A = this chain, B = another copy of it.
Amino acid sequence: MRVGVFTPLLSQLPLDEVLKKLKTKGIDTVELATGNYPGDAHCPVAMLDDAAALDAFRRKLADHGFSISALSCHGNPLHPDAEHARRDAEVNRKTIELAARLGVPVVVDFSGCPGDSPAAKYPNWVTCPWPPDFLEILKWQWDEVVAPYWTQRAAFAAAHGVRIAIEMHPGFVVYSPETLLRLRSIAGPALGCNLDPSHMFWQGIDPIAAIPLLGDSIFHVHAKDTQIYPRNLPLTGVLDTKPYTDERRRAWIFRACGYGHGAEWWSEFISTLRMYGYDYVLSIEHEDSLMSPEEGLTKAADFLNAIVLREPPAAPWWV
């Protein structure tokens, strides 16, 4: 297992500056964004049509001794706005092709969220079973939109030798192990998840306990933390719609690793990932509004590098 970095937090720097900086922090793996919500500062899909750019890109990574853990294009390819959906789906398609071209085994995306019907204006994220409206919405979304799109797309990825890691994320139909496993049972084994613990905590899901359930569907892992504020729960509960920057009043915010849960938690998280067969990358994502990106990145890298399990275990001689 090793520590990597998802680079949008350094979008203002050119890629080689990013790689140089990360090297000093003991990092040599990156997850690169190819468009949609996280932008494409370091890895535009346009390289697909520009052999020279692609070649230069490959060389830059090789020169700095870096590998790519995943290409990521978090979007909403099922958005009720047809143009929005088309654009995001197109980036997804090209990202799969680019991953195949670069030998990157994983493409990360959101599942997307449709509206309440073909005529909808906005996504309709269903989180309760009553009144009956909600189960009707859910049935339509899965049967008519979610299942067809991802079945086709997972086949496309499989055909390219790439696996799709859906980030379980609030606001999209796949937001929990249960919804992920439902989609995987529909779309097949080329579709699994990007496990970002920061989206699990406030739903009452202990990411450590989720690992045995997700098993070999874990294709990629984000290293981001969440702090829940019990002092604000009696007013707000976990269903908090206030902006992430309203830290004093929010029920929870995102934090750098170690600032939401301590080393004891992360050590068990890492150990449990290994125990259930995941021995790949912990990709640091920075969305901690109480820390500068630079300091957040440094803290998270130091924190994780001290506890990550790098070597494969040996046969136990003592049993």
- A294→B245 CA distance, assembly (Å): 41
Stretch with Cβ within 8 A of B (4 or more), from A61-69, A143-151, A173-181 = A173-181
> Which of B122, B292, B293 is A116 in contact with, Cβ under 8 Å?
B122
A234 lies within 8 A of B255 (CB): no
Closest to A262 in B: B264
Closest to A271 in B: B290
- A96→B103 CA distance, assembly (Å): 61
A311: which B residues are within 8 A, CB to CB?
291-292, 294-295
A76 lies within 8 A of B131 (CB): yes
Closest to A258 in B: B267
> Which of B243, B255, B262, B310 is A262 in contact with, Cβ under 8 Å?
B262
- Rounded to whole Å, the gap between the CB of A187 and the closest CB of chain B is 19
A176 lies within 8 A of B309 (CB): no
- Rounded to whole Å, the gap between the CB of A179 and the closest CB of chain B is 9
A306 lies within 8 A of B302 (CB): yes
- A318→B291 CA distance, assembly (Å): 13
Is A101's beta carbon under 8 Å from chain B?
Answer: no
A294: which B residues are within 8 A, CB to CB?
311
> Which of B128, B264, B319 is A241 in contact with, Cβ under 8 Å?
B128
10 extra interface residue pairs, beta carbon distance < 8 Å, beyond A176-B235, A258-B263 = A119-B119, A120-B120, A123-B134, A175-B239, A205-B234, A210-B235, A227-B271, A248-B276, A274-B290, A291-B311
